[in-house]
Amino acid sequence: MSLWGRFVNLVRRNPVQTSHAWGGRQAGEYVNADTAMQVAAVWACVRVISETIAALPWHVLEKVPQANGRTRREQRDGDVAWLLKTQPNPEMAAFAFREAIIAHALLYGNGYAEIERTPDGRPQWLWLITPDRVTPERMTTGGLQYRVNNGGGNDTIIAARDMFHVHGLAFDGLTGYSPVAVAARSLGLSMALEKFGANFFANGAHPGAVLEHPGKLTPEAHKNLSESVKTQISGSNALRPFILEEGMKWHPMTIPPEEAQFLESRKFQISEICRWFRVPPHMIADLERSTFSNIEHQAIEFVTHSLMPWCRRLESEADIKLFGQVNRGRMYTRIELNGLLRGDMKSRFDAYNAARHLSLNDIRELEDLNPVEGGDDYLAPLNMVPADMMRELAEAQMQPPAPVEPPPVDDEEDDDEAPTARVRVIR
């Protein structure tokens, strides 16, 4: 970009709406991404999604016709495969990179990483950038670029093609909504409940009260009495006896926790936060409504409804930004989810026996095993014979049988043999 173009963009930049810097007060508590992570349910939801996706195999595949009839081949030594599977940059491993960028997207709505390229345009490194520093904006030409705040220095402008951007739900298709900002009321209530419980038990599980004095206290006497009561009935002194003098009376004022449905509210907030992150409660150790009959189906729903959308977002961004137009339609990535849907070994192999229309190498590929010689033959269900043999037998049965010629008859009689006598049957 020319110097004049950079000046015009600096003066007339048009930021795209984003909510990553949001922070506000709800239910008396200040809610932002950092304080939300102090809620146990939020921490558990973010952790289970980000860690699970980071642990899944991410393959780089190429569409190439092969001799065995397969149309895809995995690339294990390419630049993109190294970035996605081993080391995206010199400071991070692939697991930590994926875990962090998904956690950013879950909390801020957007996850960013700058794509550093070689002189010939190939991706060399992926540098993670915290979302609070990035602002998507429109150029005067209508294109998209990203402005990165460097903390007091000059901002850095990154072209859209060089920004690896993973976002959640976005009505404009460009910047995702921050779940923390949208769920601020629910999170504020959860934080207020935890704070109430902490303060309640810090005071020895005794509710607050009002002291009634029959007379009028001087400001100094009021201050001394207040400090005395606070010292004698709070914290470790909450259960010690407190003596009231001069006809003072004790009037409890705070609603007891059982009347305020404290425990029920805290249980409901766990389910409420799970709804925001689309995580089954049993995945964050809430087994109140889980049974042996439904927990397996809940685990499958976690894969299909919680993990798969995020995996598809990562795959599509990698396919667009890391391969370029030259390899469009030929190179693509795939995050392997089959391992989470396998179930136990017995059920898995029973399913393979029931689906023997697959070849042996097809099954070995699902189990991440190398192919074997002769394993590409497909078997027919009847007697488990090769499918090509079944076709030969079927074609042979459809053809009419060839006429059988009678054996040749010798007309010359053997003189040594006596003629056969005929026997007449009398009835």
Confidence of residue 208 (pLDDT cuts 50, 70, 90): low
Name which residue leads in pLDDT, 420 or 40.
40
The pLDDT of residue 292 is above 80 = no
How far apart CA 71 and CA 20 sit, in angstroms, is 42
How far apart CA 120 and CA 129 sit, in angstroms, is 24
Average pLDDT score over residue span 205-231? 70
Average pLDDT score over residue span 385-405? 70
Q: What is the mean pLDDT of the chain?
A: 78
Confidence of residue 198 (pLDDT cuts 50, 70, 90): confident
The reported pLDDT for the residue numbered 228 is: 72
The reported pLDDT for the residue numbered 10 is: 38
Q: Point out the least confidently predicted range of 191-205, 230-244, 284-298, 374-388.
A: 230-244
The most confident of the ranges 28-32, 83-87, 237-241, 290-294 is 83-87
Average pLDDT score over residue span 89-112? 95
The reported pLDDT for the residue numbered 283 is: 87
How far apart CA 135 and CA 158 sit, in angstroms, is 10
Encode 374-391: b = buried (16+ Cβ within 10 Å), e = exposed: ebeeebbeeeeeeeeebe
The reported pLDDT for the residue numbered 365 is: 73
The most confident of the ranges 51-55, 192-196, 206-210 is 51-55
The most confident of the ranges 37-41, 216-220, 237-241, 407-411 is 37-41
Both tokens of residue 91? 């400071």
How far apart CA 231 and CA 236 sit, in angstroms, is 10
The reported pLDDT for the residue numbered 218 is: 77
How far apart CA 49 and CA 99 sit, in angstroms, is 9
Q: What is the pLDDT of residues 117-149, one digit of tens each?
A: 999 889 999 999 999 999 999 988 888 999 999
**Torsions phi, psi for 124 (to 5 deg):** -110, -45
From residue 154, how far is each of 116, 147, 149 by CA, in Å?
A: 19, 10, 7
In this structure, the chain runs to a length of 427
Q: What is the pLDDT of residues 338-359, one digit of tens each?
A: 767 665 556 666 666 666 667 7
How far apart CA 396 and CA 298 sit, in angstroms, is 51
Question: Are 187 and 45 contacting, i.e. CB atoms less than 8 angstroms apart?
Answer: no
User: Percent of the chain scored above 70 by pLDDT?
Assistant: 67
CA trace torsion 215, 217, 222, 228 (10° rounding): -50
Query: DSSP characters for 188-251?
Result: HHHHHHHHHHHHHHHTTT---EEEE-SS---HHHHHHHHHHHHHHHSGGGTTS-----TT-EEE
Confidence of residue 114 (pLDDT cuts 50, 70, 90): very high
Average pLDDT score over residue span 227-247? 63
**Torsions phi, psi for 280 (to 5 deg):** -60, 140
User: Cβ of 145: how many Cβ atoms within 10 Å?
Assistant: 21
Q: What is the pLDDT of residues 258-285, one digit of tens each?
A: 655 666 777 778 888 999 999 988 888 8
Beta strand extents in 139-207 (DSSP E only)? 144-148, 156-159, 163-167
User: Cβ of 191: how many Cβ atoms within 10 Å?
Assistant: 22
The pLDDT of residue 44 is above 70 = yes
Name which residue leads in pLDDT, 233 or 220.
220
The reported pLDDT for the residue numbered 352 is: 65
Question: Are 213 and 50 contacting, i.e. CB atoms less than 8 angstroms apart?
Answer: no
Residues of the chain by 3-state class (helix, strand, coil), percent to 5: 40, 15, 40
Query: Which pTM value belongs to this model?
Result: 0.70
The reported pLDDT for the residue numbered 242 is: 63
The pLDDT of residue 82 is above 90 = yes
User: Cβ of 196: how many Cβ atoms within 10 Å?
Assistant: 17
Average pLDDT score over residue span 37-66? 90
The reported pLDDT for the residue numbered 194 is: 81
The most confident of the ranges 52-66, 290-304, 385-399 is 52-66
Average pLDDT score over residue span 155-179? 91
Both tokens of residue 270? 């766990």
The pLDDT of residue 399 is above 60 = yes
